[in-house]
Amino acid sequence: MNGLYEEFKGRGITLLLINMGEDTDLVRRVVKARGYSAPVLMDTDQKVSADYRVTGSPTVYIVDRRFQIIGRAIGRRDWAGEAGRRLIDALLRQ
């Protein structure tokens, strides 16, 4: 995800990593160890996760420029692969 974040952040894509209820110190250590550069938000009380009906991790929401949810994926995906990049490019052209 880091590569995608760095590649697309100046083209209209915002990537936010949201942690669901884990210890803040643990999250900081993991973020540092994995070298994440995207912003990490803490959903400590899991209210946001409940509001968005997150049922598994990772869950990806695709939100358009009007802040409408236009897609959702639950589970791991190869967003950096050819199909993922084609989808991102197509969404940016809309």
* Residue 67, Ramachandran bin (φ over 0: left; ψ between -120 and 50: alpha; else beta): left
| SS3 assignment, position 33 | helix
Angle at 85 between CA 74 and CA 89, to 5 degrees: 110
Where along the chain do its domains lie? 2-93
How confident is the model over 71-80, as a mean pLDDT? 87
Tokens 């959903």 — which residue? 43
Question: Global pTM?
Answer: 0.77
Q: Do residues 92 and 11 make contact, with C-beta atoms less than 8 angstroms apart?
A: yes
| pLDDT tens profile 14-28 | 888 999 999 999 999
The correct CATH number of 2-93 out of 3.40.50.1580, 2.60.40.150, 3.40.30.10, 3.40.50.150 is 3.40.30.10
